[in-house]
A and B are shown apart, each in its own frame.
Chain A
Amino acid sequence: MKQTRDAREIDATLQRWAQIDADAGRRAAERRREVLGARPSDELPEYEFSKKPNDWVHLDWMRPIRFLYRNLPFGLRMALKKRLVR
């Protein structure tokens, strides 16, 4: 069986890695801040897995548009739909 390495050597290695990990985490968090467009002083919200589907069609501000659309003549509605739905 092989001999393990000296414990102090291992501790020093683990500490060095912990420091590198912390730096990598800091860089990642800075990148996230950039993506979110937040200023350095802004407090970022606690992350949660989002659960909202992208259902923009049923947003409140779409209601009048949907109403107008449904009341268009059939041919025009179909022509618009053909171009818009994909």
Chain B
Amino acid sequence: MAQFLFASSVTGASSESLDVTAASIRRLGFGSKRWFLATTGKNASPTSDKAVLTAPRRRITIGDHPTAEWVVFVPAGDKVTPDALRAARRAADDVEVIYGDTRHEVMRSDKLPTYQRRPSYSPERLRSHDYIGGFVMARRSRVDAAGGLELLTAADSHDRNLRLCESASAVSRVAEILNFTPSSNFLPGANLRAVQEHLVRLGIAADVEFDDSTPCLRVRRRLSRRPLVSVVIPTRGSSAELRGRSTPLVVNTVRTLLQKSTYNELEFIVVADTPTPQEVRAELAQVAGDRLMLVDYDQAFNFAAKNNIGVAHSNGDFVLLLNDDTEIITPDALETMLSFFEDSTVGIVGPILHFEDGSIQSAGHVFSPDPTDMYRLQPADTRGAHNYVRVQREASSVIAACLMTSREVFESVGGLSTQFPANWNDVDFALKVQQAGYRVIFTPYAKFFHFESKTRVALRIEAEVGKLGHRWGHVLDDDPYFNPRLQRYINLWRSDFHTNRSYEEAMG
């Protein structure tokens, strides 16, 4: 039988809030309870600490419990649900840290409680902000290895979560409400110093700074070298109205990349369909000069095959797959994306894509269960639920209109699958890359335009759905970076009230 030790910091906590937590602990079942209260926080006031600690707490013993199997970190004022302890009892042997969803005891105008639904463990996101929050459970052995009970209880929750998770054999997200909180703050906080120390502990050479518009952090890894990047662009040589002028799209893509990007170690592999006009070819040669390789493609349309041919011809250690209707926005976009590959566990990096009017075209994919461009059509300054759009994070997939990967990773999974000539070759590619043990990263700090029509709806080919599901149905139905309690078939991170509402209606 698992034994639990509850741990709270009394820094700034009122006696009433501790009473609320104590009552929820008492309700968790029979037997005596152990509760560790840390008083060493920087801002702890000795007077309030004394009042808090001397208050009688029936059936709860205050103090450490060295033989407890699990430590439940619970912020003062929060309530622990029985599901939390149940999740710990059911946890696999290798799971050392557990977190879950939170119910905020704050009613909105529609009288429904509000929920904070969290994705599965996302280490890159945890470096950006504390999406895990104050309620977390960890095995006692992990707590001791991560700095000890006293230090972790008194620590800021971002610091605590980084320390607990960074060396854990497995971190588990439970898609259940594990705590109720009186807090009305839904936005995760961020602790700059905690992230700096975390990076030092892991030996990651990076600079950390606060985002200028959002309470989250940007981790910039330092580039140790400037390798050749092969930009692979499939095209038909089409022209379109851009900012009121008819422009050959592929020429615009190459020209803007050469003009705006601060990264110069580039070669361009343009895979051109046979009907590509001669004047477009000539203009490309003029713009890109000896950095250009033009590869003719005379077969039936297959986006995956065209990209594969381009990569097969290329020479760079890294590959940027780029549509011919894109344009770089942030000059250091390539450095930003490339810097993630300093970490050998990163396989793909995708930027945020915008329509011509600035609205979002894609902020990474989620599978809900169909692969969906997150926050599509939302305004450019959208932050998303819990600043989802503004943080660097793991994603299950990113759109192949613009993604960077290494040659080694691309070759190790056999490139894009030609079984998906039109749709979802990027989804399949990202899932193959993850199956091979790499991470897929989305970064909002690399920005590109994608001049796709806003009204374009990808033609769903049932045969491709069947093929994708045959390989990846289990992932599509349970995207780790989504939450099963969220609404499906929309491109927003929004709680699914359907179940809760019908439950409340049914139960009267």
Hey, which bits of chain A sit against chain B, CB under 8 A?
Answer: 1-5, 10, 13-14, 16-25, 27-29, 31-32, 35-36, 44, 46-51, 53-58, 62, 66, 69-70, 77, 81, 84-86
Contact = CB atoms under 8 A, between A and B. Distances in A.
B312 A18 contact: no
Given A14-B308, A24-B432, A85 B502 contact: no
Interface in B290-305: 290-295, 305
A57 B502 contact: yes
A17 B418 CA distance: 10
A32 to B, nearest CB: 5
Nearest to A16: B414
Given A17-B414, A86-B81, A86-B113, 12 more contacts: A1-B293, A5-B313, A10-B309, A18-B414, A21-B417, A36-B474, A47-B465, A57-B506, A57-B507, A66-B507, A85-B507, A86-B177
B476 A49 contact: yes
Main secondary structure of the interface of B (DSSP, over half): helix
A17 B308 contact: yes
Interface string B103-142: 1000000000100000000000000000000000000000
A69 B285 CA distance: 76
A48 B81 CA distance: 36
Contacts of B465: 47-49
B412 interface: yes
Interface of B: 81, 103, 113, 177, 180, 267, 285, 289-295, 305, 308-309, 312-313, 369-370, 411-415, 417-419, 431-432, 435-436, 465-466, 468-474, 476-477, 484, 488-489, 496, 498-500, 502-504, 506-508
Contact of B503 (A4, A24, A57): A57
Contacts of A3: 293
14 contacts: A10-B309, A17-B308, A20-B412, A21-B419, A24-B435, A28-B472, A32-B474, A36-B474, A44-B470, A47-B466, A55-B498, A57-B502, A84-B507, A86-B103
Contacts, number: 138
A85 B504 contact: yes
B496 A53 contact: yes
A24 B508 contact: no
Contacts of B436: 24
A59 to B, nearest CB: 10
A10 B465 CA distance: 29
B499 A54 contact: yes
Contacts of A14: 305, 308-309, 312
A16 B477 CA distance: 31
Closest 10 CB pairs of A and B: A47-B469, A20-B414, A21-B414, A2-B293, A35-B474, A28-B471, A17-B414, A47-B473, A13-B312, A57-B506
Contacts of A5: 312-313
A82 B293 CA distance: 68
A66 B507 CA distance: 7
A53 B484 CA distance: 10
